[in-house]
Amino acid sequence: MAGGIGSRFWPMSTTKYPKQFHDVLGIGRTLIQQTFDRFKSICPSENVFVVTHTDYKDQVLEQLPDLTENQVLCEPSRRNTAPCVAYAAYKIKEINPDARLIIAPADHLILKESEFVRIINIALNQASSANNLITLGIKPSRPDTGYGYIQFTDTTESIDFAVKKVKTFTEKPDLEIAKQFIESGDFYWNSGIFIWSLASIISAFEKFLPDMAELFAQGKEAYNTPEESKFINKVYQVCTNISIDYGVMEKAKNVFVVLSDFGWSDLGTWGSLYTHLNKDAQQNATVGDNVMLYESKGNVVHMPKDKLVVIQGLTDYIVVESEDTLLICKKVDEQKIKQFVNDIKVQKGENFI
C-alpha cells in the first residue's frame, strides 16, 4: 500500500512527493524500495503488487524498475484501505485464486529483517491451514497514544505459541488507558500488516462489506486487461471510504494475531524517525552531509545532502528543509504540523504542500 500522503512528515513529504518515495533515513534507499527489498526472500518480484494513487504511478515504476505496469494498481482517488485491499484481492484472484496475500504499508521501518521473515512465514502457514485473518502485533515498548492496540487471549487454534486469538481492537487510546494496556500484558500494537488467503479475505468482504464486494467482483473480465483502469475509475466514484480495520477486522470472529518483535515503526512522525536515527554525543540526529551544530542538543535535523546548515543554541527541535520550504518546530509540538499544513493550504495555496 503506497498511496498515502504522510502529511505529518511535511515538508519532506508532500502531496506531489510523499514520504514513501524519500530516503528518510539517509541510507541510499527510499522507504518503498526498502519494503520491496524486504520481500525478496519471501516471494518473487513478479508476485509483488503496489497499490498507489494514479499520480504516483511513474514514481513507483521509477523506484521499482523490476515491476511491470500491470503490477502497479492505480487508485483514482483515496478511499482508505478497504477498497485498496479489495482492488488487489479481486485482481489477483483472476491470476491465482489460490494465492495467499501479505498486505504491507510501503512506508514502515523494520530493523530486524530476518525476524520479520520468520514471523511472516508463521503467519503464512496459519493462513494456509485455516480460514483465518491474520495481523501482526508488535510488542509495545512504551504506552504510545499514536498506535492502535490489539488485545489477545490465550485461546488459539494454532500449534505455534506466537499465534493468538484476537479479542478486541482499540484505536489510539489516551495515555492513561495506554498505560493500563501495557501493564496488562495482553495488548500489542497493531502494525497494519495483514496475512490471509485470497478465499478468506474475499469471504470476509462478502460478509461485512457486501456492497464493496459486489462492486469489485464486477471487474472479473476487466482485471489484467486494458479495460482495468476504466473499470476502477468507475468503481471508485461510488466506493465506500472505510478502513480494512473498521470494515472487516473489527467485525470478524476469525482474526488472529502473531506476536512479533522485529524492530518495527510506522515512521508516522518526525519524533518516531528521531528514535531510529544515529545520534551524536548531544543526542542530535541528523540526515545530511553538511550539518554543523553548536550548543544544541536533542534535535532532529533533516537537510538536502549537499546543503550546508549551521545551527546554534537549539534544544529539542525539528529542523527540516525540502525544496523551497523550511520547518522549525519544537519536537514536543510536532502534532501541530498537520495544522500548519492546513493553514498553509488556506493562506498560501497548495504549491507548498
Asked whether residue 190 falls in the same domain as residue 286, the answer is no
Task: State which of 244, 265, 286 marks the end of a domain.
Answer: 265
Asked whether residue 162 falls in the same domain as residue 208, the answer is yes
Q: What pLDDT, in 10s, does the model give residues 37-87?
A: 999 989 999 999 999 999 999 999 999 999 999 999 999 999 999 999 999
33 within some domain: yes
Average pLDDT (17-37) is 93
Q: What pLDDT, in 10s, does the model give residues 90-117?
A: 999 999 999 999 999 999 999 999 999 9
Asked whether residue 133 falls in the same domain as residue 166, the answer is yes
Which domain CATH number covers 192? 3.90.550.10
285 within some domain: yes
Asked whether residue 52 falls in the same domain as residue 170, the answer is yes
Mean pLDDT of the chain: 93
Asked whether residue 281 falls in the same domain as residue 250, the answer is no
1 within some domain: no
Asked whether residue 229 falls in the same domain as residue 340, the answer is no
277 within some domain: yes
Asked whether residue 247 falls in the same domain as residue 330, the answer is no
2 within some domain: no
Give the pLDDT band (50/70/90) at residue 158. Answer: low
Q: What pLDDT, in 10s, does the model give residues 310-323?
A: 999 999 999 999 88
Asked whether residue 206 falls in the same domain as residue 252, the answer is yes
Asked whether residue 246 falls in the same domain as residue 279, the answer is no
Asked whether residue 215 falls in the same domain as residue 165, the answer is yes
pLDDT at 160: 65
Task: State which of 265, 294, 326 marks the end of a domain.
Answer: 265
Secondary structure (H, E, C), the chain: CCCCCCHHHCCCCCCCCCHHHCCCCCCCCCHHHHHHHHCCCCCCHHHCCEEEEHHHHHHHHHHCCCCCHHHEEEECCCCCHHHHHHHHHHHHHCCCCCCEEEECCCCCEECCHHHHHHHHHHHHHHHHHCCCEEEEEECCCCCCCCCCEEEEECCCCCCCCCEEEEEEEECCCCHHHHHHHHHHCCEEEEEEEEEEEHHHHHHHHHHHCHHHHHHHHCCCCCCCCCCHHHHHHHHHHHCCCCCHHHHHHCCCCCEEEEEECCCEECCCCHHHHHCCCCECCCCCEEECCCEEEECCECCEEECCCCCCEEEECCECEEEEEECCEEEEEEHHHHHHHHHHHHHHHHHHCCCCC
Asked whether residue 84 falls in the same domain as residue 28, the answer is yes
Task: State which of 232, 265, 298 marks the end of a domain.
Answer: 265
Number of domains in the chain: 2
The parent domain of residue 24 ranges over 7-265
pLDDT at 156 over 70: no
239 within some domain: yes
Percent of the chain with pLDDT over 90: 77
Asked whether residue 230 falls in the same domain as residue 317, the answer is no
pLDDT at 180 over 70: yes
